[in-house]
Amino acid sequence: MLIKRAPELQSSEQTPKQIYLERRKFIAGLSLAAGASLAGKNLWNLLAPSAHVHASNKLSGVVKSSYRTDETQTPYEDATHYNNFYEFGTDKSDPAKNAQNFRTSPWTVTVDGEVKKPRKFSMDEILKLAPLEERVYRHRCVEAWSMVVPWIGYSFSELAKLVEPTPKARYVAFESYYDPRQMPLGSRAGIPLPYVDGLRLDEAMHPLALLTVGMYGESLPNQDGAPVRMILPWKYGFKSIKSLVRIRFVKDQPPVTWNLANSREYGFYSNVNPAVDHPRWTQAKERRLGEFFKRPTLMFNGYADQVAGLYSGMDLRKNF
Ligand SMILES: Nc1nc2c(c(=O)[nH]1)N[C@H]1C(S)=C(S)[C@@H](COP(=O)(O)O)O[C@H]1N2
Ligand SMILES: [Mo]
């Protein structure tokens, strides 16, 4: 009976997530058949999240953007079970386990500050504000691992246009949701919360800056920053702030969580730069999840042609 399921895995109708879940069921079945001795604790941990997976839904009307690398995409399983989301724990496997019951509906994002039309957006409004695009971006953490992920969203500038920033707006400040009751591990994360980040206005308005509502054809899983986050593919991953609740257009450079936590190690810009090492490790190479050999890290994570102009004349060693 289990064997018969295998050919279905090849169906082109299936999303990577469905394939992954089929595999999980398959593994579960095998272990039951083989007896309880094989069904160790780790296996049960692996199986537990499947009860909640329907928290993410297929997104319809998504068009493929030309912003896409044809490098091999990271398997859904890795991108959703190897995460940084300190509000839900500091181990890479914590967010997938601990964010399952995170309530992301109803959700509103407040946009204010130096804008002519401050307003709140419901999640429904955000989903309909501009056509949803699938963009396949390289995603590189400051810890020197990387992925290739098919994100879904649209340029942040689409939202910015609607609120009409005034000439005084020079930066954009972003803030994540924080509720210690839902995120009890946050108090032990070792970073100040709520998580905040910021961009210069021209960086935020760059078309690559993606207001992200989904991945792999579906809405974002909680552990990846549901229901809406930023993705800034030319910057280290920590700039890609999750579970956004507030966006403010401001005059002065806003605080950045990792810079507040350790200003010697993490700067405001945090553009991917293989020539400027982290004080404790090299940034010249990275490990792509699922690959054995390290690969060289590219300037601006491979997006130099598009974004280098934003930083012309700047000392990138000083402005790290
Ligand atoms: N609110 C919040 N956003 C966050 C983080 C976090 O801990 N909290 N971690 C950051 C870091 S360090 C990285 S590498 C990316 C990871 O995104 P992913 O788990 O979807 O790959 O999210 C970033 N956004
Ligand atoms: Mo990161």
Residue 215, domain extent: 6-311
- Please compute the mean of the pLDDT values over residues 176-183 and round it to a whole number: 98
Confidence bin at 28 (pLDDT 50/70/90): low
Sheet of 108-113: strand order equals 119-122, 108-113, 244-250, 171-176, 196-200
Instruction: Measure 40 CA to ligand 2 centroid, in angstroms.
Output: 30
Report whether pLDDT(19) > 80: no
Residue 30 forms part of a structural domain: yes
Instruction: Measure 233 CA to ligand 2 centroid, in angstroms.
Output: 12
**Which DSSP category does 289 fall into?**
T
Share of the chain above pLDDT 70, in %: 83
Starting from the CA of residue 197, give the closest ligand.
Answer: 1
**Domain count across the chain:** 1
Residue 173 forms part of a structural domain: yes
Instruction: Measure 116 CA to ligand 1 centroid, in angstroms.
Output: 31
| Cα dist from 48 to 29, 30, 296, whole Å | 14, 16, 36
Residue 312: how many CB atoms within 10 A of its CB?
6
Query: What integer pLDDT is reported at residue 116 of this predicted model?
Result: 98
Q: Is 175 in the pocket of ligand 1 (CB under 6 A)?
A: no
pTM here is 0.88
Residue 55 forms part of a structural domain: yes
Residue 242 forms part of a structural domain: yes
Pairwise pLDDT comparison (49 vs 242), residue with the higher score: 242
Query: What integer pLDDT is reported at residue 56 of this predicted model?
Result: 81
Residue 1 forms part of a structural domain: no
Phi (first) and psi of residue 132, to 5 degrees:
-80, 135
Residue 196 forms part of a structural domain: yes
Strand stretches in 51-144, DSSP E: 63-68, 108-113, 119-122, 133-140
Distance between CA atoms of residues 266 and 143, nearest Å: 11
Residue 203 forms part of a structural domain: yes
Give the residue, by CA position, lying nearest to ligand 1 atom 8.
85
Residue 181 forms part of a structural domain: yes
Distance between CA atoms of residues 28 and 11, nearest Å: 21
> Is residue 41 exposed (0-12), middle (13-18) or buried (19+ Cβ within 10 Å)?
exposed
> Is residue 101 exposed (0-12), middle (13-18) or buried (19+ Cβ within 10 Å)?
exposed
Cis peptide bond upstream of 118, omega within 30: no
CATH at residue 298: 3.90.420.10
State pLDDT tens for residues 52-108: 344 689 999 999 999 999 999 999 999 999 999 999 999 999 999 999 999 999 999
